Amino acid sequence: MSIVLFFYGQIGHRKKSARMALTSLEKKNHYAILTINRPDALNALNEDILNEIHEHVEGLAGDAAIRGLIITGTGEKAFCAGADIGQMASFNPEQAEAFARKGHKTMNAIAGSDLVSIAAINGFALGGGLELALSCDIRIASDNAKMGLPETGLGIIPGFGGTQRLSRLVGPALALEIILTGTQVKSDRALQIGLVNQVVVQSELLNTAEKMMGIITGKKGPEAQKIARWLVHSGLEQPLSAALEREINEFSQIFSREEPRVGLTAFKEKKEPDFSGG
């Protein structure tokens, strides 16, 4: 049985309902599905939503049973159409800095947690919406999805990590093309340039993400996965030689743990490994 939690943000930023759930969290076996629920604004990120996502991620990090997070948006039109343009319109530099810091804090919480994350991109992922997807480990897009960083068209720049995470994912030339043209990249091109891992028809999007998450959180060694994920992420910030040395170190250290005994022995005995510790 799954458990659904709703967050109710502070009253003030919503126009159509004073107490509308802005996000929901559904806990499954070993992962959770976080859904942004603000369809009247194409799931745009205001401060309340950023806070709620952050709180969900923090809460999940303290739940030993949960190892993965799928993030998606309500409806068939938008994953998330970006940071809330209405909220930003009146910003002075101090307010803009506070907003950017809040956005970074939320994106860093996702990327820096031990949760394996998949963005299930169900439509527009623009600006902060693409930055949210970029903070996830894996992106699966529906065939109607369009992704981009259109900020320069508004006279601003991506401020939730887009300039850095996009260029690390697709390389600086493609990142600059996307940022400077503000183009909406369709899902087939996104797949071609490595912006997304997979494209599926919309009706299959969540199923596909859940299936992949089920494999990830299924019969693999959780400690081994955690270390491998950390090596990939942290290695991007290091010179290659240092990152390779760290891989040797972690490879050797893992043999002081139980998981290699379970996994290697099960293979030799032609059995399924049981990493549950039971």
* Nearer to ligand COA (CB atom), residue 68 or residue 127: 127
The one among 47, 48, 52, 84 contacting ligand COA by CB under 6 A: 84
CA 21-116-224 angle, 5° bins? 155
Select from 20-28, 81-89, 163-171, 237-245 the region that touches ligand COA (CB under 6 A): 81-89
Q: How far is the CB of 120 from ligand COA (least distance, A)?
A: 18
Among 68, 73, 127, 161, binds ligand COA (CB under 6 A): 127
- 151 lines the binding site for ligand COA (CB under 6 A): yes
- For position 41 contacting ligand COA by CB under 6 A, the verdict is yes
Residue 150 as a binder of ligand COA (CB under 6 A): the answer is yes
What is the rounded CA–CA span in Å between residue 240 and residue 236?
8
**CA dihedral (42, 207, 209, 102) positive or negative:** positive
The tokens describing 26, both together, are 């559904």
State the catalytic residue, choosing from 52, 55, 97, 131: 131
Residue 85 makes contact with ligand COA by CB under 6 A: yes
Does residue 31 interact with ligand COA by CB under 6 A? no
- 124 binds ligand COA, rule: CB under 6 A: yes
- Paired residues of 153 in beta bridges: none
Q: Which residues, 6 or more positions from 92, have their beta carbon under 8 angstroms from its beta carbon?
A: none
Q: For the beta carbon of residue 114, count every other beta carbon within 10 angstroms.
A: 14
Is residue 49 within the footprint of ligand COA (CB under 6 A)?
A: no
In the set 97, 151, 204, 259, the catalytic residue is 151
Q: Clarify whether 151 is annotated catalytic.
A: yes
Does residue 81 belong to the site contacting ligand COA (CB under 6 A)? Answer: yes
Q: Tell me the CA distances in angstroms from 108 to 112, 137, 173, 189, 220, one per residue in order.
A: 5, 12, 24, 27, 25
Residue from the set 83, 136, 138, 175 that interacts with ligand COA by CB under 6 A? 83
Out of 60, 69, 70, 126, the only residue in the binding site for ligand COA (CB under 6 A) is 126
Task: Give the shortest CB-142-to-ligand COA separation in angstroms.
Answer: 15
The reply on whether position 48 binds ligand COA by CB under 6 A is no
Check residue 73 for interaction with ligand COA (CB under 6 A). Answer: no
Task: List the catalytic residues.
Answer: 131, 151
Residues contributing to the site for ligand COA (CB under 6 A): 41-42, 44, 81-86, 124, 126-127, 150-151, 154
